[in-house]
């Protein structure tokens, strides 16, 4: 069944996608599956293991399940400090 998910892009992901956020309709169940789907669409080359993900403002991992209405934040490799 299709879910409506809001995806928010940051830093280099936002520049590659050309948008800061979008609402997508998808059948994927996990954050990793979502990332793979968007990686192809937006040419996000950064390895999954170097990126982070959050769901509804809580840090999640790449096995986390996503549900209809979630907001998923995709974080490219971080570089604070």
Partner 1 sequence: MKVTSSGIDIAMCSQQLINSGAGAFAGFEGWVRNYNDGHKVLQLEYEVYTPIAESEGRKIIQEAKERFDILDAQGIHRSGLLEIGECAVWVGVSSVHRNEAFDACRYIIDHIKVRLPIWKKEYYENGDSGWVNCEQCAAAM
Interface residue with partner 1 among 2, 19, 29, 59 (CB under 8 A) is 59
Q: Please, what is the minimum distance in Å from the beta carbon of residue 51 to partner 1? A: 9
Q: Please, what is the minimum distance in Å from the beta carbon of residue 47 to partner 1? A: 8
Distance in angstroms (rounded) separating the CA atoms of residues 50 and 71: 20
Using CA atoms, how far residue 29 sits from 3, 12, 15, 17, 48, in Å, is 9, 25, 26, 22, 16
Residues that bind partner 1 (CB under 8 A): 10-12, 50, 52, 54, 57-59, 73, 75-81
């Amino acid at each position: 069944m299709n879910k409506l998910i809001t995806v928010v892009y940051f830093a280099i992901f936002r520049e590659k996608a050309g948008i800061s956020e979008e609402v997508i309709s998808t059948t994927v169940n996990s954050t990793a599956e979502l990332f793979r789907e968007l990686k192809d669409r937006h040419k996000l080359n950064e390895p999954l293991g170097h990126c982070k993900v959050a769901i509804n403002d809580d840090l999640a991992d790449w096995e986390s399940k996503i549900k209809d209405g979630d907001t998923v934040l995709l974080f490219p490799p971080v570089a604070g400090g």
